[in-house]
A and B are shown apart, each in its own frame.
Chain A
Amino acid sequence: MKNVWKTISRSTRTAKFGLVVMALWIIVAVLAPVIAPYDINDIDIAQRLAPPAWEKKGTIEHVLGTDQLGRDVLTRLIYGSRISLIVGIVAGAVGMVIGVVLGLIAGYFGGAVDAIISRMIDVMLAFPFIFLAMLLVAALGSSLGNVIIVLGITGWVPYARTIRAQVLSVKEKEFVKAANAIGCRDLRIIFKQILPSVVDSAIILGTMDVGTNILAEASLTFLGLGIPPSIATWGNMIANGRDYIFNAGWLTTIPGIALLIGCLSINFVGDWLRDVRDPRLRGVD
């Protein structure tokens, strides 16, 4: 623990900013029902499309204004932070597990297994993942769970590619050869010898992936192929804001700023982790 604090205190200014925002984000998401000023579906018909407090007609009652049904934007923003965080982390974890396992297998065994996995990677790279995601969500039906699954199973490629390449070089190291020589089984070598030396890269890629997934979820939702409009997410809020862009600009700007600051923070932290732990990964994302 002491070490963690030491590393953080030596980090860059942007990384500190990122860590603070991420910590706040988690707190807000966890405590959403406690800190949100209204209930998520509270409708205040009299206050429809009320502008934020800093505008002329704004009131302190609805600090960030209200939408076309009179729902409080701040409340929805707070609840939306939960969805983004869940999607980002869970989908990232699913992608990481699939990608790391495939990368380890491809790199370690080589031969036919490697050829198959490498072709799979080629196909995924030849095909913008957003289409695959759109297809799958449309087919499975739009729901939070499906979006997470879809982003998870389409997001494994960067992990598999990077890990495979690293395994290829780690495999030639003496300690792996020694383990092989004393008769360790393949699985043991993969998980006990090789995995620890590639786990850093996986975690760094994973951090960045959280941001990518959050943006992907918002984009899918915006296109109407993600999370259904009944759930408050930042993507849905922006999509909804588009219909009122000519008279209620805050419905577009406010959730977008949240999304921007969130992803900026994740990227700051990811960049910093990479620079500290593994400069070789520069430019892979």
Chain B
Amino acid sequence: MIRYIIRRLLQTVLVLFLVMTLVFVILRVVGDPAKMMVTPDSSYEDLQNIRRILGLDQPIWKQYLNYLSDVLRGDFGSSYYFERPVIDLLKERLPATLKLGFISLAVSLPLALLFGVISAIKRNSLLDNAVTTFVVMGRSIPTFWFASLMVLIFSVQLKWLPASGYGETRQLIMPVIAMSSGMGASVTRLTRSAMLDVMRQDYITTARAKGAAETKVIIKHGLHNALLAVVTFVALQIGYMFAGSVVVESIFAIPGIGRLIVTAIKGYDFPLIQASTLIFALIFSIINCVADLCYTLIDPRISFRINK
């Protein structure tokens, strides 16, 4: 088991390294931040000067080696735009994104599993139809429009909730709903179909025939097996949910990394783009890692194979 975990961690490091390289290469090949920093009447020398100060005049492999050695020493450079160390900016902005993400997760995941299971068991009931409708809508509504629509209804028309901002609990309600609806819909859908598959299996009939209580059949025999299909998928969805913070934070003016990344990309702020995309990739990878470990815990066949 330990060996499996170590191998999995090494894989994660490799993927993060590749992401880092990919972002670095894309930025160097196609963008030029120096052009964003000069005024129209600056001379070519000014441009070259800025490039030299930013270290962009060096050959790309040299820049890359410098970047790598800096990152390994924990130095992510300074933001061009904010003129502050990137690491400080991330420290300031990360809590808001994580808070929003984890609240959304805590709200939507249990509900999604619960409704997925209920709607599979009570197939074609009123509740199932309602759930299915929600799921279908959830997949087709763009988050940014859904968020705007909520603002229109709850802030403009009904005046119940503040349209944007961060700090009060009331201000978190709409962002959390916007952030979690997409993931909630996909997870509900998959849980439902996984449960429908599982509940048709022979071992469920056997469990019932033995006289096991129906709740026990559903939870222990049904859900436990359905979860196998759900776990890996959920991990991906959680990742996408975090990615959604880009849109949600922009709409509700939340000072998180998602909004930071949009500013950084629009301003060709290389150090900031590199660091903040790396943070997102890290969040993504941690979630996937945890999911894989959960998977081995849920599925005894896999942990058996690993331990052997």
Q: Which residues of chain A come closer than 8 Å to B141, judged between CB atoms?
A: 260, 263
A128 to chain B: which residues have CB within 8 Å?
A: 239-240, 242-243, 280, 284
Most buried by B among A127, A130, A222, A223: A127
Complex Cα distance, B242 from A130, in Å, reads 11
Considering the chains assembled together, what is the distance between the CA atoms of A131 and B279 in angstroms? Answer: 12
Contacting residues, chain B, for A219 (C-beta < 8 A) = 142-144, 247
Residues in B whose Cβ lies below 8 Å from that of A136:
26, 30
CA distance A55 to B146 in the complex (A): 22
Contact of A264 among B140, B157, B262 (CB under 8 A): B140
Q: How many angstroms from the CA of A134 to the CA of B137 in the assembled complex?
A: 25
CB < 8 Å neighbour of B136 from A119, A125, A264: A264
B81 sits at the interface (CB 8 A): no
Q: B26 near A119 (CB under 8 angstroms)?
A: no
Complex Cα spacing A221 to B161, Å: 27
Q: How many B residues have CB within 8 A of the partner chain? A: 56
List the A residue with the shortest CB-CB distance to B11: A122
A87 within 8 A of B: no
Are the C-beta atoms of B144 and A218 separated by less than 8 Å? yes
Check B27 for interface membership: any CB of A closer than 8 A: yes
Q: Which residues on the B side are within 8 Å of A224 (C-beta)?
A: 262, 266
Q: Does A135 contact B (CB under 8 A)?
A: yes
Cα distance A93–B178 when bound, in Å? 30
Whether A135 pairs with B27 at a CB distance below 8 angstroms is: yes
- On whether the beta carbons of A264 and B137 are closer than 8 Å, the reply is yes
- B157 to chain A: which residues have CB within 8 Å? 249
The interface stretch among A4-12, A67-75, A100-108, A238-246 is A238-246
Residues of A within 8 A of B266 (CB): 138, 224-225
Measured between alpha carbons, how far is A257 from B137 in the docked complex, in Å? Answer: 11
- Interface residue from B148, B229, B273, B281 paired with A127 (Cβ < 8 Å): B281
- Please tell me which one of the listed residues B19, B137, B265 contacts residue A123 in the complex, with CB atoms under 8 A apart: B19
A126 to B291, CA, bound (A): 13
Q: Is the CB of B26 within 8 A of A139?
A: yes
CA distance A256 to B144 in the complex (A): 9
Q: How far is the CA of A131 from the CA of B190 in the complex (A)?
A: 26
Size bracket of the A interface: 35 or more
Decide if A207 is an interface residue (CB 8 Å cutoff). Answer: no
Which chain A residues border B193 with CB–CB below 8 Å? 282-283
Contact A256 B149 (CB under 8 A): yes
Interface of A is mostly: helix
B61-104 contacts to A, CB under 8 A, are none
Which residue of chain B has the shortest Cβ distance to A284 in the bound complex? B233
Residue of B nearest to A239 (CB): B144
What chain A residues lie within 8 Å of B261 (beta carbons)? 131, 134
A252 and B152 contact, Cβ closer than 8 Å, known pairs A134-B265, A138-B268: yes
In the assembled complex, how far is the CB of residue B83 from the closest CB belonging to chain A, in whole angstroms?
20
Q: In the complex, are the beta carbons of A256 and B148 less than 8 A apart?
A: yes
The answer, yes or no, to whether B306 is at the interface (CB within 8 Å) is no
Which residues of chain A have C-beta atoms less than 8 A from B194's C-beta?
Answer: 283
For B189, list chain A residues within 8 Å (CB): 283
The reply to whether B140 and A260 contact each other, CB–CB distance below 8 Å, is yes
B29 CB to nearest A CB, Å: 8
User: B-contacting residues of A (Cβ < 8 Å)?
Assistant: 119, 122-123, 125-128, 130-132, 134-136, 138-140, 211, 215, 218-219, 222-225, 238, 241-242, 245-246, 249, 252-253, 256, 259-260, 263-264, 267-268, 282-283
A-B pairs, top 10 by smallest CB distance, nearest first, are A128-B243, A139-B30, A263-B140, A256-B145, A264-B140, A139-B31, A123-B18, A126-B15, A138-B265, A222-B144
- Interfacial residues, chain B to chain A (CB-CB below 8 A): 11, 14-16, 18-19, 22-23, 26-27, 29-31, 136-137, 139-145, 148-149, 151-152, 156-157, 163, 189-190, 193-194, 229, 233, 236, 239-240, 242-243, 246-247, 250-251, 261-262, 265-266, 268, 273, 277, 280-281, 284-285, 288
